[in-house]
Amino acid sequence: MQELVIRRPDDWHLHLRDGGMLRGVIADTSRHFARAIIMPNLVPPVVTSADAAAYRERILAAVPRGHRFEPLMTLYLTEGTDPDDVETGFRNGLVKAVKLYPAGATTNSHSGVRDITKVMPVLERMAEIGMPLCVHGEVTTPEVDIFDREAVFIETVLDPLRRRLPDLRITMEHVTTKDGIDYIKEHAANLAGSITTHHLIINRNAILVGGIKPHYYCLPVAKRETHRLALRAATVSGDVRFFLGTDSAPHADPLKECACGCAGIYTSINTLSCLAHVFEEEGALDRLEAFTSLNGPAWYGLPVNEDTITLRRGDEPVRYPAKIETEAGPVTVFDPMFPLYWAVV
């Protein structure tokens, strides 16, 4: 196959940041993606519906002329979140989901949840109205190894929460383990998972072998090869519970290349090329559209995009920049460590 036409894709987990960084990265998403679930972990975070409305306007103002892009807003769950405000934002169509960050789990998560019992009134309201909860599925207790955080979260937080609120719709975002994949497969009702581009390509060796590679460092951190293979199998399976959420997370290079570097990998610019490569390797190009364009809208109750994009396989590798320049500084682009031959026409 040399050419593939698919419905225009969506990104169900995206970091756009704000200000100069937002203006520098938005085009790499809006060029090919119709919609994206926008992460709320700004400084200060997007906590209220008013915050979400203001942030949405800043995003739309940054979209290049001629691009059609719809930001799907989320609220950052805190122990002081107002259930009435959450419901109002959801019912008027402004807010599509609420994001649960365990405090300290990732970038700008210090305002997150430390005691899940304190947010039960919000979660109970969300279950009543059918509003999805997006979770960063890791515990942050210091005695848990960083490579075990997802498995322990499933056992100690997610499963008890789902038993208490079986009607709550939960997206396990950026699943990184076989444990997460298996849990979703075993529990069909009200549970789905997004999978990133980079976790399909790298394992933890990419970060650690031959020296520390800060541009492969993300949270949740990449795991063993057995987990990467489980993610790939789920991604190309066609299972409607799995869909693309790039977790593309730009940081200026000085914040990555330092003694305590930030977590995040920037993939928006070459995600579709990388995914076509992965699906071709797995003999599953016919299922790429389901993962990028069909399963996510079905889960979030939105129509599939009517327009299409065309991916074409060239004879020569596609050339992507090693870095993009933004007002906030240079951002290194994800290097999959193999040549890419598929590109959007």
State how far the Cα of 44 lies from the Cα of 33, in Å rounded to an integer: 27
State how far the Cα of 105 lies from the Cα of 140, in Å rounded to an integer: 6
Any binding-site annotation on 15? Answer: yes
Any binding-site annotation on 272? Answer: no
State how far the Cα of 115 lies from the Cα of 16, in Å rounded to an integer: 28
Any binding-site annotation on 251? Answer: yes
Any binding-site annotation on 136? Answer: yes
- Give which of 245, 325, 247, 341 is closest to 292, Cα–Cα: 245
Any binding-site annotation on 17? Answer: yes
**Catalytic annotation, pick one of 247, 253, 286, 315:** 247
State how far the Cα of 259 lies from the Cα of 329, in Å rounded to an integer: 18
Any binding-site annotation on 256? Answer: no
Amino acid sitting at position 27: A
DSSP string of 42-60, one letter each residue: -SS---SHHHHHHHHHHHH
Any binding-site annotation on 108? Answer: no
Q: Are 10 and 32 in contact (CB under 8 A)?
A: no
Any binding-site annotation on 263? Answer: yes
Q: Is 253 among the catalytic positions?
A: no
Angle of helix 83-91 relative to helix 49-62, nearest 10 degrees, comes to: 40
Q: Are 3 and 244 in contact (CB under 8 A)?
A: no
- Size of the chain in residues: 345
Q: Are 173 and 190 in contact (CB under 8 A)?
A: no
- Give which of 75, 88, 122, 130 is closest to 301, Cα–Cα: 130
Any binding-site annotation on 16? Answer: yes
Any binding-site annotation on 13? Answer: yes
Active site residues: 247
Q: Give binding residues for substrate as ranges.
A: 15-17, 41, 136, 219, 251, 263
Q: Give binding residues as ranges.
A: 13, 15-17, 41, 99, 136, 174, 219, 247, 251, 263
Q: Give binding residues for Zn(2+) as ranges.
A: 13, 15, 99, 136, 174, 247
